[in-house]
Amino acid sequence: MEIRTRQPRAKKKPLILLAVILLVVLSLVFLATRLHVWVQEKEKTKLLTLVDREHPVEDDYNVKFTLLGEGQMVDSRCVDDLEAMLADCRRAGGQPELTASFRTWGAQERAWEEALDELIKAGLSREAAERQLERQMELPGFSEHQLGLAVDLLHQGTEQSVEQQDDTATIRWLREHCWRYGFILRYPADKTEITGKDYRPWHYRYVGRDAAAQIRELNLSLEEYIEMFYAS
Ligand SMILES: [Zn+2]
């Protein structure tokens, strides 16, 4: 009798062990897959994502946004630095006005079409208008505003033009101090050949404090910085 009762018990043990091993292996596979997806997503939405005429915004680019009021919205990762920068700029005598931040594909398309229509109405051919506009704004899919990491900051009550912005207390302060808050002047006057864009004293791009400090220190455009440190 004893032998008969022991035999089935002896068979059950390896089965339980096998089930446990299988469970552990499946859990590990599941975790590894999740980790892989997480790393891929992190990589895809990294702060140093380059968007220019050769690098469009990825279709599935997706980050958390924070609403700032008055219809403005930015990537949540830059909110604290942006608010600190605006507060310190005001304290220093500037009057920054946030006029553009995150833009959807549709909004970028409308802005492009409106600006193009204006140039054509002013007498330019479609081709000439497109060529001129490409230096001043971006086709839908090619704007940093679609990342939520770029902001346009004007001196309160003035127009968006180099002449009106360049020598204001706001822009002078931002150009000098934006890097302390992780922002860079994205289209500087001395990098137009590399960025392919005219000087825009109002357009600031968030890259994080370390990168912004290095970019300033080495006097690089974002294109040059990524090429120098992150080119694969
Ligand atoms: Zn802009």
DSSP line for 175-210: HHHGGGGTEEESS-GGGHHHH-S---TTEEEE--HH
Domain assignments of the chain as residue spans, ordered by start: 1-44, 49-103+144-232, 105-142
Count other Cβ atoms within 10 Å, centred on residue 214.
Answer: 16
Report how far ligand 1's centroid is from the alpha carbon of 213 (Å). Answer: 21
Beta pairing, strands 203-206 & 150-155: antiparallel
Compute, in angstroms, the gap from residue 102 CA to the centroid of ligand 1: 9
58-80: b (≥16 Cβ within 10 Å) or e: eeeeebeebebeeebbbbebbbe
The CATH code for residues 49-103+144-232 is 3.30.1380.10
Contact (Cβ atoms closer than 8 angstroms) between residue 146 and residue 108: yes
- CA-nearest of 47, 232, 66, 211 to 144 is 47
- Torsion angle, CA of 17/18/23/28, rounded to 10 degrees? 100
- Residue 172 has phi, psi (to 5 degrees) of -60, -45
Kindly report the pTM of this predicted structure: 0.83
| 204 Cα: distance to centroid of ligand 1 (angstroms) | 7
Cα of 134 vs centre of ligand 1, distance in Å, is 13
Residues 148-179: tens digit of each pLDDT: 999 999 999 999 999 999 999 999 999 999 99
- In the reported structure, the alpha carbon of residue 29 is separated from the centroid of ligand 1 by a whole-number distance in angstroms of 43
Centre of ligand 1 from the C-alpha of residue 112, in Å? 12
pLDDT digits (tens, 9 = 90+) for 179-220: 999 999 999 999 999 999 999 999 999 999 999 999 999 999
Bridge partners, residue 69, by sequence = 72
The pLDDT of residue 144: 95
Nearest to 50 by CA among 181, 225, 198, 193: 225
Which letter, b or e, does each residue of 17-38 get, where b requires 16 or more Cβ atoms within 10 Å of its Cβ? eeeeeeeeeeeeeeeeeeeeee
- Gap between the Cα atoms of 19 and 232, Å rounded: 43
pLDDT, tens only, 78-135: 999 999 999 999 999 999 999 999 999 999 999 999 999 999 999 999 999 999 998 8
Task: Calculate how far, in angstroms, residue 201's C-alpha sits from the geometric centre of ligand 1.
Answer: 9
What residues pack around ion ligand 1 (CB closer than 5 A)? 152, 203
For 47-126, where are the E strands, in sequence order? 65-69, 72-75, 96-100
